[in-house]
Amino acid sequence: MPELPEVETTRRGLKPHLLEQTVKHAVIRQPKLRWPIAADLTTQITGQTVRALHRRSKYLLIQLDSIWLIWHLGMSGSLRLTNHQSPAEKHDHVDIELTNGNILRYRDPRRFGALLLSDNPYQHPLLSRLGPEPLETEFTAEWLYQRSRNRRIAVKAFIMDAQHVVGVGNIYATESLFQAGIHPSRAAGRISLARYKKLVTCIKEVLAFAIEQGGTSLKDFVNSDGQPGYFAIELQVYGRSGKTCFHCQSELKNITIAQRTSVFCPSCQT
DNA sequence: AAATATACCTGACTGC
DNA sequence: TGCAGTCAGGTATATT
């Protein structure tokens, strides 16, 4: 699924193709996403020029002359550039046509995504209370350590809570905890500062590496160049339950934490 | 207040 | 071959 690295890869891929391009028209085939697409979205954006592409958490923010698009790809969403030669397929819910003939096309089979309009996206309720970006310097071990004191929640659920740090989804939480040698069920409040330092380093490394590689994702994710955005990062534990730990050869185990499947090595992670 | 459960949705997969 | 059932997962929201 598109996690932070996929959204960042998408942003970088789209940026040179969208900047300073003007919206000619928009087609909404299916407005029923996580929240309905505004009925007047086409009217609101037609004639406006793209001025910037930002990313905050897993939200892609497209700045137009007088309004922003807030776009979340949900579980199965993807954005690609195409044109009128390529007919829309079953789950292609939105087209944004540009005056240069390109079409920004949104596909999302499971429709967990969202496309919203906002005058000021950073003040939008969805974004205003988010924690730090994991790759920025404000995201530190001290921050996590302080916020986790007296918390009994499992550390995996804790780092997946966007109030504490954004962009750490199930795959990267699982991998980061393995790399840090921390058991995913351990109470967040009972982890030392030294271990949080290791964990923060691992989160940053894992995400940075994934961005470098073009992002991991479900097989239906396609990046903005139309290539599969799926350079199968060497996942150490995610999806490998029952298989052998690359470090110690123990059998990897699967447990459920906060309704999410969690794979870990019972020997390496304590 | 904190922790946990639920809801949204469809494709892939499993077992009959 | 089909069909019913299960699972996956981001994250806002409801419930305990």
Quote the radius of gyration of chain A (alpha carbons, Å).
20
Residue A152: CB less than 7 A from any atom in strand B: yes
A251 included as an active-site residue = no
Residue A112 CB lies within 7 Å of the nucleic strand C: yes
Indicate yes or no: strand B within 7 A of the C-beta of A112. Answer: yes
Specify the pLDDT at position A119.
Answer: 93
Q: Find and give the residue nearest to B10, measured CA to C1'.
A: A110
Residue with tokens 């160049």: A225
Chain A span 210-249 residues with beta carbon within 7 Å of strand C:
238
> Which stretches of chain A score pLDDT less than 50?
215-231
Give the C-alpha separation, A177 to A184, whole Å.
6
Gap from A258 CA to C16 C1', Å: 15
In Å, what is the CA distance from A264 to each residue of A161, A184, A193, A256? 19, 7, 21, 11
CA A79, CA A225: separation in Å to the nearest integer?
9
Q: What is the pLDDT of residue A210?
A: 87
pLDDT computed for residue A232 by the predictor? 54
Task: Verify whether residue A2 is a known catalytic residue.
Answer: yes
Q: What is the pLDDT of residues A239-266, one digit of tens each?
A: 888 889 999 999 999 888 988 889 999 9
A260 touches strand C (CB under 7 A): yes
DSSP string across chain A: ---HHHHHHHHHHHHHHHTT-BEEEEEES--BSSSBPPTTHHHHHTT-B--EEEEETTEEEEE-SS-EEEEE-TTT-EEEEE-TTS---TTEEEEEEETTS-EEEEE-TT---EEEEES-GGGSHHHHT----TTSTT--HHHHHHHHTT--SBHHHHHTSTTT-SS--HHHHHHHHHHHT--TTSBGGG--HHHHHHHHHHHHHHHHHHHHHT----TT-B-TTSSB-------SSTT-TTSB-TTT-PBPEEEEETTEEEEE-TTT--
User: Model's pTM, two decimal places?
Assistant: 0.92
Residue nearest to nucleotide B3 (CA to C1'): A153
Q: Is the CB of A72 under 7 A from strand C?
A: yes
Residue–nucleotide distance: A109 CA to B11 C1' (Å): 8
Q: Which nucleotide is nearest to A113 (CA to C1')?
A: C10
Q: What is the pLDDT of residues A75-114, one digit of tens each?
A: 889 899 999 889 988 889 999 999 999 999 999 988 889 9
Does the C-beta of A255 come within 7 A of strand C?
Answer: no
CA distance A139 to A164: 9
A90 is catalytic: no
Q: What is the spatial distance, in angstroms and rounded to an integer, between the CA atom of A184 and the C1' atom of B10?
A: 29
Strand C nucleotides, any atom under 7 Å to a protein CB: 7-13
A58 sits within 7 Å of strand C by its CB: yes
Residue A217: predicted pLDDT: 44
